């Protein structure tokens, strides 16, 4: 699925202009890393790209069709990982958290369990399934939040700082998992400050500054000048 932002602007109620005339495409089987200083608009871009926030002007298109017109049906095709995992976790146990979305889609609890087991193994959290979602470490919460999206197998993954709190080992397994998703043709967008991670996975890099796209291209955009100026 191709997700496109066309001349998108977004203004928060306090008049902060978080996005200004942003145009970009996120393609199937590609990973786009969105980078830029704190407050440059990365999170806002992901929220607008998933139609959680409606743009003040411009359009968000999914395969050429306005995304917001396809809601709520299209919601399950899009997985969004919030920057703060606490905004996502609300079930009493990790197992329930992972099963939650699936239970809206599948009535066979054995099938639900098998998917939960598979995803939790892939994210190294199967030992946490009986634990309370409120009593986890930062990296555990992030992996549980990511797992809660992967269970319903969305075509588009919008991930806000997915490597935050992760150990090097966990980052490597996330890298492997995302490369696998990319091979399966998923459209992947990652907001991150993690240059090493971006360098290992990005097909496209988008650098924002004050809500504007200042640089767009492949890994060649990572020059000394760009680092000094924006990263």
Ligand X SMILES: Nc1ncnc2c1ncn2[C@@H]1O[C@H](COP(=O)(O)OP(=O)(O)OP(=O)(O)O)[C@@H](O)[C@H]1O
Residues that bind ligand X (CB under 6 A): 12, 14, 16, 18, 36, 38-44, 83
Minimum CB separation from ligand X for residue 17, in Å? 8
CB distance 185 to 208 below 8 Å = no
Please select the residue that binds Mg ion; options are 20, 24, 43, 139, rule is CB under 5 A: 43
Q: Which is nearer to Mg ion, 38 or 64 (CB)?
A: 38
Q: Torsions phi, psi of 185, nearest 5?
A: 90, 15
Residues recorded for the chain? 231
Tell me if 163 contacts Mg ion by CB under 5 A.
Answer: no
> How many Cα atoms are found within 13 Å in the side-chain-facing hemisphere of 7?
2
190, 191, 192, 193: CA torsion to nearest 10: 150
Which of Mg ion, ligand X, none does 18 bind, CB closer than 5 to 8 A by kind?
ligand X
Tell me if 24 contacts Mg ion by CB under 5 A.
Answer: no
Q: Which residues 76-115 are close enough to bind Mg ion by CB under 5 A? A: 83
Stretch that binds Mg ion, among 40-48, 56-64, 148-156, 177-185 (CB under 5 A): 40-48
Which of Mg ion, ligand X, none does 73 bind, CB closer than 5 to 8 A by kind?
none
Tell me if 192 contacts Mg ion by CB under 5 A.
Answer: no
Minimum CB separation from ligand X for residue 45, in Å? 7
Region of 116 (left: φ > 0; alpha: ψ -120 to 50; beta: rest) is alpha
Minimum CB separation from ligand X for residue 9, in Å? 12
Pairwise CA distance, residues 150 & 80, whole Å: 10
Of 147, 184, 215, the C-alpha closest to 1 is: 184
Q: Which is nearer to Mg ion, 102 or 202 (CB)?
A: 202
Which of ligand X, Mg ion, none does 139 bind, CB closer than 5 to 8 A by kind?
none
Task: Using the CB atoms, write b or e for 198-228: b if 16+ within 10 Å.
Answer: bebbbebbbbbbebbbebeeeeebbeeebee
Tell me if 133 contacts Mg ion by CB under 5 A.
Answer: no
Binding site for Mg ion (CB under 5 A): 42-43, 83
């Amino acid at each position: 699925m191709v997700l496109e932002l066309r001349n998108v602007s977004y203004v928060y109620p306090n008049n902060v202009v978080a996005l200004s005339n942003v145009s970009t495409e996120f393609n199937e089987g590609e990973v786009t890393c969105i980078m830029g200083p704190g407050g440059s608009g990365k999170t806002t871009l992901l929220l607008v790209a998933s139609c959680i926030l409606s743009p003040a002007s411009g359009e968000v298109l999914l395969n050429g069709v306005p995304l917001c017109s396809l809601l709520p049906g299209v919601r399950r095709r899009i997985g969004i990982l919030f920057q703060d995992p606490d905004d996502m976790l609300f079930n009493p146990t990790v197992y329930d958290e992972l099963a939650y979305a699936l239970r809206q889609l599948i009535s066979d609890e054995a099938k639900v369990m098998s998917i939960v087991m598979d995803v939790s193994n892939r994210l190294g959290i199967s030992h946490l399934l009986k634990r309370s979602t409120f009593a986890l470490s930062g990296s555990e919460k992030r992996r549980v939040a990511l797992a809660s999206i992967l269970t319903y197998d969305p075509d588009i993954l919008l991930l806000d700082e997915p490597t935050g709190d992760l150990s090097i080992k966990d980052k490597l397994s996330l890298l492997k998992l995302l490369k696998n998703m990319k091979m399966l043709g998923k459209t992947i967008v990652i907001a991150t400050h993690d240059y090493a991670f971006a360098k290992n996975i990005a097909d496209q890099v988008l650098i924002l500054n004050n809500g504007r796209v200042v640089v767009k291209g492949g890994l060649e955009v990572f020059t000394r000048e760009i680092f000094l100026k924006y990263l």
